[in-house]
């Protein structure tokens, strides 16, 4: 029974790995290695609006393919990284970028981790003080 389960696990693992091995963007976009590296960096920083938890580099959704083509076209037209991000942001909103710029609209997004860590720290301090006071009350009684 264990051998059958082990074989089934191996087959499932191999199927999973083979599915991931299929190249999403199999075409080389640029002959120049520096441009290809820039292209890879850009598409890794843009969120797939269909999948939402993947970059357009990792997604095979039709919209992700279209966005990769847009990035490629913008690069071929000579646009800078900032211009490409601005184009995508203007067209699809801040959500299209994994690191949206800090602005009044995105302040909550950027500041919420700091606020949550501060609130967690305050909660820990209160619990520790309360327990310390309880220990003093028990020992002093």
Each residue's pLDDT, cut to its tens digit, for the chain (141 residues) gives 777 666 766 666 666 544 444 445 556 677 888 999 999 999 999 988 888 788 999 888 999 999 999 999 999 999 999 999 999 988 988 788 877 767 677 677 778 888 899 999 999 999 998 888 887 765 555
Q: DSSP secondary structure string, the chain? A: -HHHHHHHHHHHHHHHHHHHHS-SS-S---SSHHHHHHHHHHHHSBB-TTTSSSBTTT--SHHHHHHHHHHHHHHHTT--HHHHHHHHHHHH-GGGBSSPPPSTTTHHHHHHHHHHHHHHHHHHHHHHHHHHHHHHHHHH-
The class of domain 2-101 in CATH terms is mainly alpha
Domain ranges of the chain: 2-101, 102-141
Say whether pTM exceeds 0.85.
no
């Amino acid at each position: 029974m264990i051998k059958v389960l082990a074989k089934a696990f191996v087959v499932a693992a191999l199927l999973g790995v083979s599915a991931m091995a299929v190249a999403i963007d199999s075409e080389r976009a640029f002959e120049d290695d520096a441009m290809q590296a820039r292209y890879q960096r850009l598409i890794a920083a843009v969120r797939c609006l269909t999948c939402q938890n993947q970059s357009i580099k990792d997604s095979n959704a039709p919209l992700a393919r279209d966005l990769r083509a847009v990035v490629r076209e913008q690069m071929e037209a000579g646009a800078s990284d900032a211009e490409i991000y601005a184009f995508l942001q203007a067209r699809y909103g801040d959500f299209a970028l994994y690191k949206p710029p800090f602005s009044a609209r995105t302040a909550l997004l950027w500041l919420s981790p700091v606020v949550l860590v501060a609130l967690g720290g305050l909660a820990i301090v209160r619990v520790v003080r309360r327990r310390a006071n309880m220990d003093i009350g028990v020992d002093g009684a």
